Amino acid sequence: MDDELGQVPEEFRAACGRPGRRVIVRHFPVTIPHALCDLTGVVLAYPRHGGATVPDQPMSIGNSLGFRLTVHPGTLDVTVEVLLRPGEPHP
């Protein structure tokens, strides 16, 4: 499993299987495979764009600041997307 965890972006690794943890997303879009890293109950956020807690069932959560979190049906993989405003720098 440690080799597989290496496929998960570094900022997410400490939160795998640890509900209540908080992750600041560095790059997007990003998809984290549930089979490698269970993010259920983890708070994911992107600076100045808000965030959301990963639910335990398939759904999409979005806000007016451009943050969108999707838990995919079937796999429970988690995708984070951020819609930047025109002229806003990308990390």
Say if residue 86's pLDDT is above 60. Answer: no
| Over residues 3-20, mean pLDDT | 90
Of 49, 53, 65, the closest CA to residue 22 belongs to 53
User: How far is it, in rounded angstroms, from Cα 2 to Cα 17?
Assistant: 14
Say if residue 3's pLDDT is above 80. Answer: no
Q: Are 39 and 32 in contact (CB under 8 A)?
A: yes
CA 21 to each of CA 1, 73, 74, 83, 91: distance values in angstroms, whole numbers, following the listed order: 20, 23, 24, 24, 22
User: How far is it, in rounded angstroms, from Cα 26 to Cα 56?
Assistant: 23
The reported pTM is 0.88
Condensed to tens digits (0 to 9), the pLDDT of residues 26-85 reads 999 999 999 999 999 999 999 999 999 999 999 999 999 999 999 999 999 999 999 987
